Amino acid sequence: MSVSDLEIKPNKTLPGWSMTESFVLAGGPGGQNVNKVSTAVQLRFNAVAVQNLFTDRQYHQLIKLAGSKATKSGEILIEASKFRSQDRNREDARERLKELVLKALEPPPPPRKRTRPTRGSVERRLKSKAGRSQIKKNRGSVSSDDS
Taking only the tens place, the pLDDT of each residue in 31-88 is: 666 667 788 888 899 888 888 888 888 888 888 988 888 888 888 999 888 888 888 9
The whole-model pTM stands at 0.69
Q: Mean pLDDT across the stretch 86-105?
A: 90
pLDDT reported for residue 96: 92
CA 27, CA 70: separation in Å to the nearest integer?
23
**1 confidence band (pLDDT: 50, 70, 90):** low
Give, in degrees to the nearest 5, the angle at Cα 31 between 26 and 34.
25
Top-tier CATH class for 6-105: alpha beta
Q: Does residue 4 carry a pLDDT above 90? A: no
**For the chain, domain boundaries:** 6-105
pLDDT above 70 for 28: no
Tell me the three state secondary structure of residue 84: coil
The 10 Å Cβ neighbour count of residue 26 is 21
Q: What DSSP line would sit under 107-135, residue for residue?
A: PPPPPPPP----HHHHHHHHHHHHHHHHH
